[in-house]
Amino acid sequence: MSYYKTIDGKKMDGHLLEMAEEAVKGAGDGRISRADAEIILNAVKDGGDYTEVEKDTMEYIRDNFNWTESADDWFRSQIATWAAKA
């Protein structure tokens, strides 16, 4: 997979999209779990900055993938806190 993928005219982080796709297939209930959210958050944070591409990608993932309520709440809280500091 290319590092970037264009969806609806926006450049997206291909690695984050791939992680979300892996999280919802196979075992489990087809939702991004808290454990999946932690892995995705670590991938977002790996560069030390919350880039526009990552923001667009995470918006797409939040809107187009099913999350458990606890994973969604936890991720939103963590990303907001981290992005405010970054």
34/25 Cα distance (integer angstroms): 15
Q: Tell me the per-residue pLDDT of 19-56, one tens digit each, with 9 for 90 and over.
A: 999 999 977 789 999 999 999 999 999 988 999 999 99
Tally helices (H) and strands (E) across the chain: 4, 2
Q: Quick check: 31 and 67 in contact, CB under 8 A?
A: yes
Confidence at residue 2, expressed as pLDDT on a 0 to 100 scale: 62
Q: What is the reported pTM?
A: 0.89
Report domain extents, the chain.
4-85
67 closest CA partner among 6, 3, 24: 24
15/2 Cα distance (integer angstroms): 8
